[in-house]
């Protein structure tokens, strides 16, 4: 077992990353470090997984993605996302579809980007966020170390006013 997998207490099931400032990078690192079969998906809009990850990337409607998850593949890490209107972006699945994908694929681990932060380093959720499957075994909360000690503003925070409420900080307060 890799040090990363062991440190995070991840062995199987659905694992979701929420927050800001490194969710995708963390999930790509977990996928690379995992020894078993890995599914990768999102419940929010996201950039398309890059080719350097080595993932088999499946882009289709949810029913087709679930069918493909159950089909044979030599790939150890497989991504499943819906097409999005914006070039270079993909759309996420709903929580129930993620659970169906995990079951159909028989994955040891299904990694889920379950929150968006508009490329900021910290965020606070609005009602209805994050979108987590009910069978999620582990939720990894991410915040960028680059925001620590910096003044709270829209440059570093997605929904800075909400971050201020949650963290008991005033705008522009470090």
Residues 6+ apart with CB under 8 A from 79: 39, 40, 41, 49, 53, 55, 56, 57, 58
**Of 20, 79, 21, 29, which is closest to residue 49 (Cα–Cα)?**
79
**What's CA 37's distance to the chain center, in Å?**
17
The domain locations on the chain are: 3-142
pLDDT for residue 11 = 86
CB atoms within 10 A of CB 141: 12
pLDDT for residue 131 = 94
Name the residue with tokens 């800075």: 160
3-state secondary structure the chain: CCHHHHHHCCCCEEEEEEECCCHHHHHHHHHHHCCCCEEEEECCCEECCCHHHCCEEEECCHHHHHHHHHCCCCCCEEEEEEECCCCCEEECCCHHHHHHHHHHHCCCEEEEECCCCCCCCEECCCCCCCCCCCCEEEEEEECCHHHCCCCCCCCCEECHHHHHHHHCCCCCCC
pLDDT for residue 145 = 96
Which stretches of the chain drop beneath a pLDDT of 70?
1
Q: What are the φ and ψ backbone dihedral angles of 145, each rounded to 5 degrees?
A: -65, -20
pLDDT for residue 122 = 97
């Amino acid at each position: 077992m890799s040090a990363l997998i062991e440190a995070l207490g991840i062995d199987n099931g659905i694992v979701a990353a929420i927050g800001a400032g490194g969710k995708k990078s963390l999930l790509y690192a977990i996928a690379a470090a995992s020894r078993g079969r890995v599914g990768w998906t999102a419940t929010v809009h996201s950039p398309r997984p890059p080719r350097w990850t080595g993932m088999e990337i499946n882009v289709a409607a949810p029913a087709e993605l679930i069918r493909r998850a159950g089909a044979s593949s030599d790939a150890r890490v497989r991504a499943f996302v819906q097409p999005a209107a914006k070039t270079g972006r993909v759309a996420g699945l709903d929580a129930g579809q993620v659970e169906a994908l995990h079951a159909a694929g028989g994955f040891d681990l299904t990694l889920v980007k379950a929150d968006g932060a508009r490329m900021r380093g910290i965020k606070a959720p609005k009602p209805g966020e994050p979108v987590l499957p009910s069978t999620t075994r582990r939720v990894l909360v991410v915040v960028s170390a680059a925001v620590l000690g910096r003044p709270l503003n829209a440059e570093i925070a997605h929904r800075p006013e909400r971050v201020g409420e949650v963290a008991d900080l005033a705008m522009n307060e470090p």
